[in-house]
Amino acid sequence: QSALTQPASVSGSPGQSITISCTGSSSDVGAYNYVSWYQLHPGKAPKLMIYDVTNRPSGVSNRFSGSKSGNTAALTISGLQAEDEADYYCSSYTSTNTPYVFGTGTEVTVL
């Protein structure tokens, strides 16, 4: 099972919106509505930002939103803030012999 494909880096200025893509296949992203997004800060526990493609856990800012079209999912961060600077990973449930696959990761920089 290959990792889902994400851009290595995305940047934006404070207040702008950015979108991170997560491209998989008909065996994972395209097959299930089980795409999640995680925020990783060094030294901290990863934080779930979006689950089941579009759902936000309690406490996550509504500046974060998720979507999916075909085999590609996306995370949009609107009103970019300095605190959003982190690594972001997507994950999906899969129909292969590995039930979960992660994306390659995207480094978000706030200019």
If binding means CB under 8 A, how many residues of this protein chain bind other proteins? Answer: 29
Sort 32 into a burial class: Cβ within 10 Å, 0-12 / 13-18 / 19+. Answer: middle
Closest CA to 82 of 41, 50, 35: 41
By the rule CB under 8 A, 95 interacts with other proteins: no
* Minimum gap (Å) between residue 67 Cβ and other proteins: 16
How remote is the C-alpha of 89 from its chain's centroid? 5
Cβ distance 33 to 21 under 8 Å?
no
Query: CA 50 to CA 98: how far, in whole Å?
Result: 21
Tokens of 55: 């759902």
Q: How far is the CB of 13 from other proteins (least distance, A)?
A: 27
Binding track over 10-49 against other proteins, x by CB under 8 A: ----------------------xxxxx-x----xxxxxx-
Closer Cβ to other proteins, 45 or 82, answer by number:
45
Residues at the interface with other proteins (CB under 8 A) = 3, 32-36, 38, 43-48, 51-52, 57, 89, 91-93, 97-105
